[in-house]
Amino acid sequence: MRKVKSTVTLNNRVINRLEDAQLNALFKTAEYVHTEVVQARVIPRDTGTLQNEKFYINGSNLSKGSVSLCFEGPYARRLYFHPEYHFNRENWTETINGNNVRHGSNPNAKGKWLEDWCPGGKKVSNIKKTYAKFFRMEAGL
């Protein structure tokens, strides 16, 4: 029996570039999902605050490989976990400080509006494909 000797040399520069590409692709994928959710018009909408100012990407744990889509405000939880609410009301107008303000609802609004993008949802495959596309782009592959 012959003895075989091998040497493995790791290219740390390339490994670091691939790790950075993973994190950048992850954040870009979160931005993609954020945009998808807004464009799907599934978030209950009255004045647009929940959908616009109160919906954001939390990247504070990005270095650990985690990002979150967050909804801020005490009413976000109540609306999300109570699908029995009727979200699709007609457009309406109210007067605030002497100005007519038009309110409208998203036509696809529902409780648990993120389910399509969660595991088992019908949009999960799009997320995986998008991440792969961003990773290839970021890694220069």
- Domain range summary for the chain, segments of one domain joined by +: 18-139
Cα(102)–Cα(71) distance, rounded to whole angstroms? Answer: 23
The per-residue pLDDT for 58 is: 96
Question: pTM for the full model?
Answer: 0.79
Which run of H or of E encompasses 14?
A: helix 12-40
For residue 62, pLDDT over 60 is answered with yes
Q: Which residue has the higher pLDDT, 79 or 89?
A: 79
Q: What is the DSSP letter of 120?
A: T
Residue with token string 């109540």: 78
pLDDT at 108: 81
Q: Is 18 exposed, middle or buried (0-12, 13-18, 19+ CB in 10 A)?
A: middle
Select from 54, 55, 41, 49 the least CA-distant residue to 105. 41
Closest CA to 127 of 34, 2, 1: 34
Mean of pLDDT over the chain: 85
Flag the least confident range among 2-16, 26-40, 84-98. Answer: 84-98
| DSSP H/E element including 18 | helix 12-40
pLDDT band at 98 (very low <50, low <70, confident <90, very high): low
